[in-house]
Structure 1
Amino acid sequence: MKYFKKTLRLLSLVLMIALALVGVGLGGGVPIPVSNRKENLIEIRVELPETKEKDSESEDFFNKE
């Protein structure tokens, strides 16, 4: 009976290894995560409205006339 249990355990181990190999062969294994990928940080960009600055040179030129 001991011999039968030992053989059954060995056969079940071989069967599990064979099933794992077939699964990896079909699925391609576990993908390795990329470590140098940037984190997705949300950046909020705010554009300031342009201020209307008076061009003093052009005003002086037009005011002279």
Structure 2
Amino acid sequence: MINFKKLLRLLWLIVFMILASVGVGLGGGVPLPLSARKRDATEVQTELPESDKKATKIAEFKRKE
């Protein structure tokens, strides 16, 4: 009886593997999800304004001459 149960489990495993492979063959498998970064490729890039420190240093240097 134990050998019969083992054989029956193995038979069901083989049947399910065959059904799964036929289903994947017909359906083409599961599609991979696209990443959100590729779809939202537009990024806003901002530039920081130049500080006035450089302009004041240049003006002070010119005054000293």
Aligned-residue identity in percent: 62
The one-letter amino acid of 2:7's match is T
Structure 1 residues not aligned, in runs of 5+: 40-65
The one-letter amino acid of 2:13's match is L
In structure 2, the residue corresponding to 1:15 is in which secondary structure? helix
Does structure 1 residue 29 correspond to structure 2 residue 29? yes
The one-letter amino acid of 2:31's match is P
Partner of 1:38: 40
TM-score by length of 1: 0.56
Q: Bigger radius of gyration, 1 or 2?
A: 1
Structure 2 residues not aligned, in runs of 5+: 42-65
Shift of 1:21: 0.4
**Greater helix percent: which structure?**
2
The one-letter amino acid of 2:10's match is L
CA RMSD of aligned residues (A): 1.4
The size of the alignment, in residue pairs, is 39
TM-score by length of 2: 0.56
